[in-house]
Amino acid sequence: MKTVIGPTQRQFLADLRSYLDGLDPELVAATRAENIEDPMQPRENGRRFLRRLAADGWLGVSWPTEYGGQGRTEIEHWLFAEELYSRRLPNGLLTLNVIGPTLMLMGSEAQKADYLPRIINGDQVFAIGYSEPDAGSDLASLRTRAVRDGDEYVVNGQKIWTTGGDVATHYWLAARTGRPEDKHRGVSLFIVPMDAPGISITPIITQGGERTTSVFLDDVRIPASQRIGEENEGWAAIVCALNFERMFFHNEPRWELEQLAGWADAQGLLEGETPQAYALQERMGEHAVDVEICRLFALRGAGMLAAGQVPRAEASANKIWWGELRQRICNTGLDLVGEDGTIATGSPYAPAGGHLEHGLQSSPVWRFGGGTNEIQLDIIANHGLGMPR
């Protein structure tokens, strides 16, 4: 069997674990509690934690040394992200793993010089502005418009499901600069400070408790220098960023299965020679295999990135498997828990710490966050299997 985890990677992981074990316990505990409550964006303690890692040279594991990284491969970066997630600590999800690499590939030299040092220092946090109320994940239908006015663009519109919009420093904003009938060929991508005049943010709390936002843009002026790539050609940068984003869905099912196994073990459900115990052991074994498949999907993507490729259909397959597996694990757990499974996260009486209940409540987001599963199936069919549109 071919393996990409060799002595170098195992030593890297040992060094990383030793470093993490030596961090300030108070900072780690506060960050973990914050991250379990809302893992989508680092907040106060998460930002402190990431700046600590940055100061110690542990952010940007796979970033080139010219941009302040360690210059390691994406395999080490994958190990880094997995280890951080296993400890329920932030790994710089969108900003470090998505925006930074996309800027390296598609940003201007001035944009790289401006943003990359601040990203790898943990000083900047990006939120992503793609979805709109009437367009959903169909980015080709977006209506937020950017009109050129001299050396600036004037932007008007509304975005929705901007996770972290209330804590981010900058906005990765898709806007229409061409005609509506041009679809994705008339879209441009911009970087905008979240405190720019004309931006207002409304919080949204989802049924799973995740905090997201709606962002309104009213005559927001953006220098043309903050456009990524050429006018009307932002689609390529959006696709590139989404592919990076979908490759970092991998470790949550593992953690949720651990919660389920811990609870079932504590209840004695896995013990004894009964049909029920055997059936549950079989189901848990199936989930454990599926979790490892999920890890292999992510590792395959990391291998492609290490080879200089950007996964596309592979990233979509990873994202679908990840989301549906999380739902299967939480379903198994709540079938076992029964009526007590309605006790919400935060209650001391919630079985498995309420994590399974919370996971199932959040599951609808997993179907469309990062692009709906239906769109991912189209990408797999067209780009992975070569089927006609």
Half-sphere exposure of 355 (CA within 13 A, CB side): 22
Q: Is 134 helix (H, G, I), strand (E, B) or coil?
A: coil
Q: Is the pLDDT of residue 183 over 90?
A: no
Alpha-carbon radius of gyration of the chain: 21
Q: Is the pLDDT of residue 2 over 70?
A: no
pLDDT confidence of residue 4? 67
Residue 156 one-letter amino acid: N
Which helix (H) or strand (E) segment is 32 a member of? helix 25-37
pLDDT confidence of residue 368? 75
The listed range with the strongest mean pLDDT (131-140, 166-175, 289-298, 369-378) is 166-175
Q: Of 32-41, 75-84, 118-127, where does mean pLDDT reach its minimum? A: 32-41
Residue 105 zone, left/alpha/beta (φ > 0; ψ -120 to 50; rest) = alpha
Contact 367, 338 (CB under 8 A): no
Rounded mean pLDDT, 325-342: 86
The model carries a pTM of: 0.82
Contact 87, 32 (CB under 8 A): yes
CA–CA gap between residue 287 and residue 291 (Å, rounded): 6
For 169, other C-beta atoms within 10 Å of its C-beta total: 15
Half-sphere exposure of 114 (CA within 13 A, CB side): 11
CA–CA gap between residue 65 and residue 50 (Å, rounded): 19
Q: Quick: pLDDT tens for 62-93.
A: 899 999 999 998 889 888 988 998 898 988 77
* Residues of the chain above pLDDT 70, percent: 97
For the question of residue 271 being annotated catalytic, the response is no
CA–CA gap between residue 295 and residue 278 (Å, rounded): 26
Q: Quick: pLDDT tens for 7-25.
A: 999 999 999 999 999 999 9
Q: Quick: pLDDT tens for 276-292.
A: 899 999 999 999 999 99
Q: Which of the residues 76, 245, 256, 314 is marked catalytic?
A: 245
Residue 26 one-letter amino acid: E
Rounded mean pLDDT, 221-238: 94
Q: Backbone phi, then psi, for 124, in 5-degree steps?
A: -115, 140
Pairing of strands 170-176, 126-129: parallel
pLDDT confidence of residue 58? 93
The single-letter DSSP state of residue 174 is: E
Contact 382, 371 (CB under 8 A): no
Q: Is the pLDDT of residue 250 over 90?
A: no
DSSP character string of 69-114? S----HHHHHHHHHHHHHTT----HHIIIIIHHHHHHHS-HHHHHH
CA–CA gap between residue 317 and residue 278 (Å, rounded): 31
For 277, other C-beta atoms within 10 Å of its C-beta total: 15
With DSSP H G I counted as helix, E B as strand and the rest as coil, what are the percentages for the chain, rounded to 5? 55, 15, 30
